[in-house]
Amino acid sequence: MRAFNFCAGPAALPTEVLQRAASELADYQNTGISIMEMSHRGRLFQAVLASAKKNLRQLMAIPDDYDILFMQGGATSQFSLVPMNLLSGAGQAAYITTGMWSKKALSHASKLGNVVEYASTLDTQFTSVPSPEEALVNGQYDYLHYTPNETIGGVRFPYTPETNVPLVADFSSSILSEPIDVSKFGLIYAGAQKNIGPAGLVVVIVKRDLLQRSPTELADVWSYRSVSDANSMVNTPPTYSIYLANLVFEWLLEQGGVAAMAAINQRKAAALYHAIDSSSFYSNPVTLPARSLMNIPFTLADAALNDVFLAEAESAGLHSLAGHRSVGGMRASIYNAVPESAVTALVDFMAQFERRYG
Ligand code: PMP
């Protein structure tokens, strides 16, 4: 019996993926040992790694002049690794801030070099994104960093910023949720624990010509160039996380790929926003064009009911609906692995809760 899991991360994984992993947990392909007990340099794990790269390349239509890196340290490590690797030309970078995660990326980078907060929506309490004109960056920067989906605020860029410098994006909470044109980016990174697989893995998609920027004195495990040269095996990679990510990639391909997921994600988000907007009992503060398809925060007109709402939701099999500890309220994260039936169940629960307490 699986509950409906709205956790922001580590988040729901497809039931089929968990069942497949369980079925081959102790004996991988009749070897009598688990994939997580095998050498990362052996034939079987090498095949998993190659398959993960191939499947992700297919899912996101990643051009050949980009490499895919599997790294560790969470998306947070990338807040520092991006400037450590890329800030070696003009010596300065531009950041757009639209919420807590882009603010963190900026603050980590500012310890390592000269960074400019080029545009920000702090004046709207991070309930919007800048206009394409405000986000247009043409200048002497090594890169422009932004966060296409803010996981806490539930704010999404409905467009890709235009710029003449390499575009770096933290796609942690929206990778694989809708098609993107990878060729517009210099570097994409995403912590795995939302739309990819278990925590412990970070996926980096980097344009090969940027690899030359990694300073030679940088430790190999943190150097994009060294990690690329070593095919993500400078040292022992998180083998089980990569194996599970590959099962998720295979599952996504079976569902029809990212375009098919995007259509489902649009329907899920529309149903939940409709439930929120058509009632004065619930509200979401984000401006319409900037509303996230993945993370939907909402509040109750009477905040004193929050704990009752969360407890009753949990009893009804709707898990992890509490908002981020920094903002409170509720948040439903509806990543790829959260089925439409979960959103239907949530919407029904919300209507019924409002009838009883509204
Ligand atoms: N960026 C975004 C957009 C996130 O949502 C998160 C985690 N929720 C992070 C970065 C940090 O990820 P990690 O905990 O893997 O370092």
The span from the CA of 113 to the CA of 154, in Å, is 29
Range 155-184 average pLDDT: 97
Q: CB atoms < 10 A from the CB of 62, how many?
A: 18
The span from the CA of 101 to the CA of 47, in Å, is 34
**H-state helical runs in the chain:** 15-23, 43-60, 74-86, 100-110, 224-229, 239-254, 257-277, 306-315, 340-357
Out of 53, 103, 194, 268, pick the active-site residue. Answer: 194
318 three-class SS: strand
Residue 109, pLDDT score: 97
Q: Are 158 and 290 in contact (CB under 8 A)?
A: yes
DSSP secondary structure string for all residues of 259-314: HHHHHHHHHHHHHHHHHHHT-SSEE--S-GGGB-SSEEEEEESSGGGHHHHHHHHH
Q: Mind listing the pLDDT tens digit for each residue in 190-229? A: 999 999 999 989 999 999 999 999 999 999 999 999 999 9
326, pLDDT greater than 90: no
* pLDDT greater at residue 249 or residue 200: 249
- What pLDDT band is residue 146 in, cutting at 50, 70 and 90? very high
23 three-class SS: helix
Q: Which residues line ligand 1 (CB under 6 A)?
A: 9, 74-76, 101, 147, 151, 170, 172-173, 191
- CA 169 to ligand 1 centroid distance, Å: 12
Out of 53, 142, 170, 251, pick the active-site residue. Answer: 170
- If one residue of 82, 107, 151, 195 were mutated to test the ligand 1 pocket, choosing by the most ligand atoms within 8 A of its CB, it would be 151
Six-digit token string for 46: 């090498």
Longest dimension (CA), the chain: 64
Six-digit token string for 91: 């010596």
Atom of ligand 1 nearest to the CA of 9: 8
Atom of ligand 1 nearest to the CA of 199: 15
Residue 139, pLDDT score: 86
**pLDDT mean across residues, the chain:** 97
Residue 90, pLDDT score: 79
Token look-up 């709402």 returns 309
Residue 105, pLDDT score: 98
- CA 175 to ligand 1 centroid distance, Å: 12
Phi, psi (degrees; rounded to nearest 5) at 249: -60, -40
Active site residue 170: yes
- CA 108 to ligand 1 centroid distance, Å: 13
Residue with CA closest to ligand 1 atom 15? 74
Q: Mind listing the pLDDT tens digit for each residue in 47-81? A: 999 999 999 999 999 999 999 999 999 999 999 99
The span from the CA of 29 to the CA of 106, in Å, is 45
Q: Report the candidate in 154, 145, 99 with the shortest Cα–Cα distance to residue 335.
A: 154
H helix or E strand, kind and range, residue 117: strand 114-120
89, pLDDT greater than 90: no
Instruction: Count Cβ atoms within 10 A of the Cβ of residue 216 and give its class: 0-12 exposed, 13-18 middle, 19 or more buried.
Output: exposed
- What pLDDT band is residue 124 in, cutting at 50, 70 and 90? very high
- What pLDDT band is residue 38 in, cutting at 50, 70 and 90? very high
Residue with CA closest to ligand 1 atom 4? 172
- If one residue of 173, 177, 320, 326 were mutated to test the ligand 1 pocket, choosing by the most ligand atoms within 8 A of its CB, it would be 173
Q: Are 127 and 121 in contact (CB under 8 A)?
A: yes
Residue 259, pLDDT score: 98
- What pLDDT band is residue 184 in, cutting at 50, 70 and 90? very high
Angle between helices 43-60 and 257-277 (to 10 degrees): 60
The sign one gets for the Cα dihedral 130, 148, 229, 81 is: positive
Indicate whether this model's pTM tops 0.95: yes
The sign one gets for the Cα dihedral 72, 74, 76, 82 is: positive
179, pLDDT greater than 90: yes
- CA 3 to ligand 1 centroid distance, Å: 24
Six-digit token string for 28: 């991988």
- What pLDDT band is residue 1 in, cutting at 50, 70 and 90? confident
